[in-house]
């Protein structure tokens, strides 16, 4: 499966990579003080830091001269909190600054704080199950269509949000469609898609993950938007370019959907060609969620 061949063994790796790659957007994602920014990762090889943890290097300095210690834990127990507290103390002693501990979860924490006569530890807990996946999909879709910036961390972790209408695999397919519509290069899209799949692996079965990954690879192999632009530009004048881009998108969408649905191109073509440019854009964002020609036809009627 290319970069995701060990998908069920790499869930933890996405947390570190995503928070490091998008550290400038992390505080917004955590819904914390937007005026405070993550500056840079802090070293953790100092001898004072001896707590064993897979995320011992997920530590950052902040613009307010404090430190941020990030953890990911599905079930937060008393032992987890004691371990994180011990690590927090070690970090404070090693770096001579105050540290904030933040725990990302999508479960039901058994404990949120610990309190003894000599200490009290109450980390910030960000529970993704408290966020609405359906509302977030609509918000991200509107931002992408408007050409507005998006927070990629919301897309990566979207399958961990709660949804009353969709299963995690369906949310994951919506994530893939959103990623394919981002105005970034194919390599960045593949990386985002890989991280979204890795973040989903405890909620989505292995066979479904592999199927979505194969669809993603096929999508980027065909390079829908690049081909569409080339076909449009070849038409020359402004109106011709507009028509050409639409035609190019249609041709690629027909090709991809025909293969995905294992349906003759003629049948798929009939449904796709009824769509307006805006409906075609919406279809492109939802392409990984399309299961039948009937699903395509609903975009023309919507």
Percent of the chain with pLDDT over 70: 80
Mean pLDDT throughout 171-195?
86
Q: For the ranges 164-178, 213-227, 251-265, which has the lowest average pLDDT?
A: 213-227
3-state secondary structure string across 35-93: CCCEEEECCCCCCCCCCCCCCCCCEEEECCCCEEEEEECCCCCHHHHHHHHHHHHHHHH
- Considering only CA atoms, which of 276, 220, 280, 275 is closest in space to residue 249? 280
> Which DSSP helix (H) or strand (E) runs through 115?
strand 114-115
Same domain, 36 and 124: yes
Q: What are the backbone dihedrals phi and psi of residue 74, each rounded to the nearest 5 degrees, phi first? A: -70, -50
pLDDT of 143 higher than 50:
yes
Do 271 and 287 share a structural domain?
Answer: yes
Mean pLDDT of 9-20: 70
**Span 139-156, average pLDDT:** 92
Question: Which residue segment(s) compose the domain that 302 sits in?
Answer: 223-302
Tell whether the model's pLDDT for residue 90 goes beyond 60: yes
Do residue 190 and residue 177 come from a single domain?
yes
For 8-35, what is the mean pLDDT? 78
Per-residue pLDDT tens digits for 99-113:
999 998 888 878 788
Are residues 182 and 140 part of one domain? yes
Question: Three-state SS for 21?
Answer: helix
Residue 239, pLDDT > 50, answer no
Cα angle at 172 between 203 and 224, to 5 degrees? 155
- pLDDT of 288 higher than 60: yes
Q: Please report whether residue 21 resides in a domain.
A: no
* Residue that terminates a domain, selected from 222, 245, 269: 222
Contact 195, 18 (CB under 8 A): yes
Which of 204, 222, 240 represents a domain boundary (last residue)? 222
> Is position 92 within any domain?
yes
Number of domains in the chain: 3
């Amino acid at each position: 499966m290319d970069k995701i061949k060990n998908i069920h063994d790499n869930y933890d790796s996405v947390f570190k990579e995503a928070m490091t790659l998008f550290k400038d957007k992390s505080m917004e994602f955590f819904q914390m003080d937007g005026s405070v920014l993550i500056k840079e990762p802090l070293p953790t090889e100092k001898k004072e830091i001896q707590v064993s943890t897979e995320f011992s290097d997920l530590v950052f300095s902040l613009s307010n001269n404090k430190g941020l210690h990030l953890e990911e834990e599905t079930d937060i127990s008393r032992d987890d909190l004691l371990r994180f507290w011990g690590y927090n103390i070690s970090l404070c002693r090693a770096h001579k600054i105050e540290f904030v501990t933040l725990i990302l979860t999508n479960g039901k924490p058994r404990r949120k704080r610990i309190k003894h006569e000599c200490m009290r530890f109450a980390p910030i807990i960000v529970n993704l199950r408290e966020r609405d996946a359906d509302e977030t999909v609509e918000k991200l879709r509107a931002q992408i269509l408007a050409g507005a910036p998006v927070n990629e961390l919301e897309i990566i972790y979207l399958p961990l949000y709660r949804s009353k209408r969709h299963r995690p695999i369906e949310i994951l397919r919506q994530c893939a469609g959103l990623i394919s519509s981002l105005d970034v290069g194919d390599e960045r899209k593949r990386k985002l898609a890989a991280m979204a799949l890795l973040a989903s692996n405890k909620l989505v079965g292995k066979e479904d993950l592999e199927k979505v990954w194969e669809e993603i690879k096929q999508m980027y192999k065909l390079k829908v938007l690049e081909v569409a632009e080339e076909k449009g530009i070849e038409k020359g004048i402004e109106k011709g370019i507009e028509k050409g881009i639409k035609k190019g998108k249609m041709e690629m969408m027909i090709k991809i959907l025909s293969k995905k649905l294992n349906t003759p191109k003629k049948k798929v073509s009939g449904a796709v060609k009824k769509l307006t440019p805006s409906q075609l854009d919406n279809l492109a964002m939802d392409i990984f969620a399309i299961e039948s020609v009937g699903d395509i036809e609903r975009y023309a009627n919507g």
